[in-house]
Amino acid sequence: MSSLTLSGIKKRFGKVDVIRGVDLEVEDGEFVVFVGPSGCGKSTLLRMIAGLEDITSGELRIGERVMNEVQPARRGVAMVFQSYALYPHLTVRDNMGFGLKVRGVKPEERASRIAAAAAILKLDALLERFPRELSGGQRQRVAIGRAIVGEPDVFLFDEPLSNLDAELRVHMRSEIAALHQRLGNTMIYVTHDQIEAMTLADKIVVLRDGIVEQVGTPHELYRRPRNLFVAQFIGSPKMNVVPLADVELPPGLVAPANAVSIGMRPEHLAITNPGSGIVSGRVAIAEYTGASSLLHVELDSGAICLVVHQGDEPQAGKRIDLRIDTGNLHSFGADGTACGPPTGHPRS
């Protein structure tokens, strides 16, 4: 088991800077999730940790050791690929045993380690099958099993669930969480699905264009996003951001001097009596989703504000006022950085 330290890591493909200076500490046994939009460099960063891409500049340490020039196989990492990368001509058993075989592990030990991993992942009945004879979820488990048998210090996952259907994804997500609890290894997990990130992570790293936008626990990112990008990336449906001018702050409350917009999460907004809300507008669309409804409220300025509404949905076209607990307000400056919640003592 190991900690990881990335300092000033950069990656350049030809003339393009893909990773533009990443500093990160990963503690021993931590579950860290890299999240960010497509093309932001998540996979690249992960492959650099694995040693599949070389590091243009900066330093990578795993444990105490500088790993920049160490061969992938000597870094004590195992990786689960988005494509699973199971060898199609080998059975599940041989796929899982491949790494042990090439490293010269004795057949008896190989067999026992495969059996142990298969037991953890409930693969015992599938060991003689070929990958083409497995379902998506089973393939996924084999890919994880192949990583486990090598007894790595660090597990790397590159969007391991993105090829699965929604239901299976939720199931495998909990299996991975359980696996982390059971093994206690350091795990780094890449996804662009913020729900996966929130549910799995001890620590989330939000990336954009090769730069770390924010690092923190799921709570920190949700409650105190450092800028507009993180605010809107974490949380679903995404945070409403409306110009300060459209908002009527409760009496006594003032936005920070440099704030130009106010952020409000849809799940924090609620319908209130006319005239007493922070914003008001007309219900444009009401989407019924079962447990709740998603209201698209058109403010007087024309901006759309999303509201998660419990109970009977108001009719489209109806004017409503919306309220929010002041502790749930966010404000952002002109450059998008968060500038703290509005302050003061609301009179009520």
List of long-range contacts for 308-312, beta carbons under 8 Å, 24+ apart: 308/237, 308/266, 308/267, 308/269, 309/270, 309/271
Contact between 194 and ligand ATP per CB under 6 A: no
CB atoms within 10 A of CB 154: 24
Q: Is 303 one of the binding residues for another protein (CB under 8 A)?
A: no
Q: Any idea what the Cα angle at residue 73 is, between residues 75 and 50, rounded to 5°?
A: 60
Task: Quote the Cα angle for 53-56-62, to 5°.
Answer: 65
Q: Which runs of consecutive H residues, i.e. helices, occur in 122-235?
A: 136-149, 166-183, 194-200, 218-223, 228-233
For ligand ATP, give the closer residue by CB, 10 or 296: 10
Residues 131-190 that bind another protein (CB under 8 A): 146, 150
Q: Which residue stretch of 36-44, 220-228, 231-239, 291-299 sits at the interface with ligand ATP (rule: CB under 6 A)?
A: 36-44
> Residues 33-52: x/- map of binding to Mg ion (CB under 5 A)?
----------x---------
For the CB of residue 38, give the shortest distance to ligand ATP in the complex, in Å: 3
Return the SS3 of 294: strand
| Residue 39 found at the interface with ligand ATP (CB under 6 A) | yes
Q: Is the peptide bond before 237 cis (omega within 30 degrees of 0)?
A: yes
Return the residue of 12, 103, 219, 319 that touches another protein, per CB under 8 A.
Answer: 103
| Structural tokens at position 157 | 């996952």
Is residue 239 a contact point for another protein (CB under 8 A)? no
* Cβ closest to Mg ion, residue 5 vs residue 43: 43
Helix (H, G, I), strand (E, B) or coil at 339: coil
| CA separation for the pair 38, 335 (Å, rounded) | 23
Alpha carbons 170 and 165: distance in angstroms, whole number: 9
Q: How far is the CB of 159 from Mg ion (least distance, A)?
A: 6
Q: Least CB distance from residue 19 to ligand ATP, whole Å?
A: 8
> Which element (helix H / strand E) includes 109?
helix 107-121
User: Segment contacting ligand ATP (CB under 6 A): 13-21, 178-186, 263-271, 287-295?
Assistant: 13-21
Contact by Cβ (8 Å): 342, 253: yes
Q: Is 274 in the site for ligand ATP (CB under 6 A)?
A: no
Closest residue to bound ligand ATP by CB = 43
If one asks whether residue 73 binds another protein (CB under 8 A), the answer comes out as: yes
* Chain residues that interact with another protein, rule: CB under 8 A: 47, 50-52, 72-74, 77-79, 81, 83, 85, 87-89, 98-99, 102-103, 146, 150
The residues of the shown chain that bind Mg ion, judged by CB under 5 A, are: 43
Chain contacts with ligand ATP (rule: CB under 6 A): 13, 16, 18, 36, 38-44, 192
